[in-house]
Amino acid sequence: MKIGELARLTGVSPRLLRYYEEQGLLMPRRVGTHRSYADDAPEVVGHIRAFLGAGLPTRVIREVLPCVEGPGPALHGCVARTLEEQLRGLDDRIAGLQDSRSALAGLLEAGPLRTGSRASAA
């Protein structure tokens, strides 16, 4: 199938499909200057979108995509460690944001903010 048809089937713009190609996530066959995609390309694009939606960077998606199959997607064991590392990283960032939020809330609860020359200078 051609890029326009893949875009129509997936709801993903041709420009974004080309970006997926540049990132090594989607591999078309080249026929002259035209791209041709395999029948499973809509499924692959769906997997890419799911991983992006889960917050995975394209470099990680490139690693795990070969270990994914089916429309589900079904994940093979080869992706478990990578996904667990990503989950730990998210948990660490969430904890850091919660600490920052608590610190900011503490500043606000400490009392009224003063206005004046010092506050304006900040």
Using a 10 angstrom Cβ sphere, with 0-12 exposed, 13-18 middle and 19 or more buried, the burial of residue 7 is: middle
Q: Max Cα separation, the chain?
A: 69
Mean pLDDT over 102-120 rounds to: 77
In the chain, what are the domains? Answer: 3-111 (1.10.1660.10)
Q: How many CB atoms lie within 10 A of CB 118?
A: 8
**In this predicted model, what pLDDT tens digit does every residue of 60-88 receive, in sequence order?**
999 999 888 777 767 788 888 889 999 99
CA atoms within 13 A on the CB side of 2: 5
Helix axes 41-53, 3-10, angle to 10 degrees: 50
pTM to 2 decimal places? 0.75
Using a 10 angstrom Cβ sphere, with 0-12 exposed, 13-18 middle and 19 or more buried, the burial of residue 37 is: buried
Question: Which residue, chain included where needed, has tokens 């064991």?
Answer: 77
**In this predicted model, what pLDDT tens digit does every residue of 6-50 receive, in sequence order?**
999 999 999 999 999 999 999 998 878 888 999 999 999 999 999
